[in-house]
Structure 1
Amino acid sequence: EVYQKRWRIEEYHKSIKQNASLNKSPTRTVKTQSNHIFAAIIAYCKLEMMKIKTKLNHFAIKYKLILRANQIAMQELKNM
């Protein structure tokens, strides 16, 4: 029982580092580090909500979001 709870926490930490870019913080000050951590947690929560809604994993959701953003950017470039 304790091991399973601990494992879920480990999965959370791994996911927030990989999927919400927590480990890629370019910040130097405490305030900017705090802001980055807060933004990463918000991003993780949004990914979790999308995961539940779409029944896709984080990687698939991120791929679809990036693909859609690139499509919109290309369309805007074509419209210039």
Structure 2
Amino acid sequence: MSRQVFPHEDQSAGVSYLVSSDTDLDQAQMTTIYQRRWKVEEYHKSLKQNASMGKSPTKTFATQANHFFAALLAYTELAALKLRRCLGHFRLKAQLYAVGLKAMYQQLERLNA
């Protein structure tokens, strides 16, 4: 078991416990493994929530495969934007939605004129 204490922005202390069944691991090895696994968790969360992987309305294999491919493509585009803009996936998604909503509102105003 490894115990890590880290400060929060509000000066309170956070504690993280890492546990492994491999008793030969030291704290540095456990931390390295945890960091690698956490990257996988972040990937799955972003793929599901930002690239709509979890919202597939498809029923057939072909449409499911197309949705899966489109979600991976969207994730890849977000990852490239993340590197260029130095922003996280969730911030980028919010900014893209804001731009889309603004464009939609402008179009509605043109149609109402």
Q: Kindly report structure 1 stretches of 4+ aligned residues shifted beyond 3 Å.
A: 4-7
Give the structure 2 partner of residue 18 of structure 1.
49
Match of 1:50 among 81, 86, 98: 81
> Structure 2 unaligned runs (5+)?
1-28
Separation of aligned partners in 1, 2:94 and 2:66: 25
Structure richer in helix, relative to its length: 1
Displacement of 1:62 in angstroms is: 0.7
Cα RMSD (Å): 1.6
How far off its partner does 1:8 sit? 2.6
Calculate the TM-score normalised by the size of structure 2. Answer: 0.64
| Sequence identity (%) | 46
Report the Cα offset of residue 12 of structure 1. Answer: 1.6
Whichever of the two has the greater Rg, that structure is 2
Structure whose residues are more often strand by fraction: 2
Aligned length: 80
Q: Give, in angstroms, the shift of residue 53 of structure 1.
A: 0.8
Larger relative contact order (CA 8 Å, sep ≥ 6): 1
Q: What residue ranges of structure 1 are gaps of 5+ in the alignment?
A: none
Normalising by structure 1, we get a TM-score of 0.87
